[in-house]
Structure 1
Amino acid sequence: MRPTRPFCALCLFLASGVAAATNYTLWINGRAGGAVGAAGNYDDFSYWGPSSTPAGVNKKAVNWDGRSSIASQSGKVRDALDCFCTGPNWCYVVTYSAGDLMLGYTLANYGGSARLKKNASPNAAGVCGNSDGSSQTGWNIRWVRVAAGAAGGSELSDAGSWTTSEPLVQDLKTSTARAMYNHNTTRNIWFYMYAGARGTLYSGLLPGQDDEVIAYHSSGGVAGSAGRSLCNPRDWFCNDLTLGTAANQGGSTKWSYHSVVFRDDSEDYNHYINGNWGGIMGVVRSAVVNTAL
C-alpha cells in the first residue's frame, strides 16, 4: 500500500489546483451623467441595472467615477484586473462607451508590466491581497466585448455638447482619444465590437450612422487620426462599416484585434442603458450570458 501514497497526494494536489481556477466577468462603465456604483464595491451594479440580471459568470462591476480623466481613473481598473485576472483565474471583460477608452489605455500602457498575483478577495477599497508573492506579465483576459465603444472619441465632445470642464469630456475629443495610446496594442486580446445605429436629429453632429452619442467610426473600432462617415449597407450615400476585421468600404481599416460582431442594420438600438441594461448594451449582455461561462 505504501507505494500508492505519493500518487494519491499528487492527485489531491492537482485536483485542488483545478478547483482554485475561477472565471470572472468584469463590467467597466462609461461616462456618468449621474450616479455610478461605489468604487471598490465589485457587487454594486447600480450603473447598469438590477444586480439580479444575468450578466456572465461571477460578474463584477468595475466602478470608476465616469467623469475624471482616463489616466487618473485607470488605477481602479488595474486593481480589478489584478484581483480577478491573475494567477489561475481568467476574465471576460465587457466595456461600455468610455469604458472602451479606459480599458484600451490600460492594456496599452500597463498590459505588458509585471503584475503580482492576487487572491480575488478585495478589501473595502477594491484591492486584493497577494496570493503567493509571485508575478506575471499582464492579465488573463479571454476576450473583451464592447458596447458603443468610445475609444475613437465622440464629436459631441468636440462640439462641447457636454460639460466642457469635465476632464473625461476633454479625453473624449476625437483627436485626443485617438492619440492617447496605441490602439493596436491590445496584448493580443480580441475586442468584439457592437455598434448601435438608432440616432436622432440631435446626433447630426455625428458622421454617418450613430447611436445618438457614438458614431460607427468609433463603435466599429476604425483606425485613423480622426473620425469618418460610415454607415449600414442600405445607405447609398455613405461607405459601409463591414463586419469582422475586413477593411470598410472606401478602404478604412480597423485597429488590430478589433472585430465588428454586431452592426445595427435595423437601427433598433440607441446608446442609453436607462438603468436597466438597455440600448445596445442589451445586445451585448445577451451575448455575454451565452459565452462568459
Structure 2
Amino acid sequence: MGLDEVLLQGTLAMRDDRNMSFYCPNGSVWVWVGLGECAQDARDMASVSLGLLSIVCFMASLGPQCYKSYRTGNMDSALSVWFLLLWLAGDSCNLIGSFLANQLPLQCYTAVYYVMADLTTLAMYSYFKAKNSGFSNRLLLNAVGVLSLAGVSAFSLPVVSPQVDVVQQGFKGRSLLFVHEDSSSIKPFSTKEIIGFTVGSVSSLLYLSSRIPQIVTNFIRKSTEGVSYFLFALVILGNTTYGLSVLLKNPDRSRGEGEASYMVHHLPWLIGSLGTLFLDLVVSFSHLGTSWPTCRYSGGFTIVLSPDTVF
C-alpha cells in the first residue's frame, strides 16, 4: 500500500474547506462541498456541469411519459415490459458497479436516480396493466397509483451522499504527497474494482439489449401511440451529456493515472451511455415513421394530424 492510500484511507471525507486545502487546492468550493469532487480547471468544471445536466435530463424524462400514459391509458401495450425490466437490470448493475469500481461521484448519484426512475416506471406499468386487464381490486390499483406518484416525487429530490472514505467514493485527489508513476501505463485494478468493472460491463450489455424489445414492439404495433417522444429524446440528451462528462474529467495524474488508464477504468460506463445512442435514435425515429392521417382543405393546403400530438 502506497503512502497516498495510507493517507486517504486514514481520513474520513468530511468535505469542508479544511481538508479541501490539502486534497483539492485551488478547487471549486461548491463542487467539493456539494458533490465531493475536485474541480480545479475549466475541463473539470465542464465535466461537472455536463454531469449535472445529465441528471436533470433523466429527471425530466419521466414527466412526459407519465403525462402521456395518463392521457392515453395504454402504457402497458405501448411500452415493452422487457424493455423496462432490462433497463432496470442494467441500471441496478450500473449502480453496484459504480460504487465497487470507484467511479466519479456524479456517476454514482446518477445511478441512484436511474434505479428510482425505473422502479417508478414499472409501478406505473403495473398499474395500467392491471387496470386494462379488468382487475377489480380498486384499493390495490389506487395503492399502486399512489406508489407511482410517490416515486415521481422522490425522483425529483436530491440524493444525500453519505460521508464515507474518499477512496470508496472514487475521489480523485491532487495531493502533492502522491507518488507519480508512468502516466502511459494502465493502473492495475484492485479486486474490488475488478468486480465493479465486471458488473459495469454486464450493465452496458443490458443497456444495449434493452432497446431491442421496444423497437420490436413499435414495429409489431405499427404505432408509437402511448410512447412519449420526449422520453427517448431526453434520454439521448442525458446519455450524451453523461458520456461527455466522463470523457472530460481530468485523470488523476498525481496518482499516476494517464488518459489511457482513465479510459480503460471507465470503459463500461462509456459504452453503456454513448453506445446506446444509435438504438435510442432508432426508437425516436420510429415516431416519424408512423402513418399519420391527413386532412385536406379546399384552400390547397394539407394538415397532418398525428396520433402522438401530445408528447
* TM-score between both structures, scaled by the size of structure 1: 0.25
* TM-score between both structures, scaled by the size of structure 2: 0.23
Point out the structure with max Rg over C-alpha.
2
Q: Which has the larger share of strand? A: 1
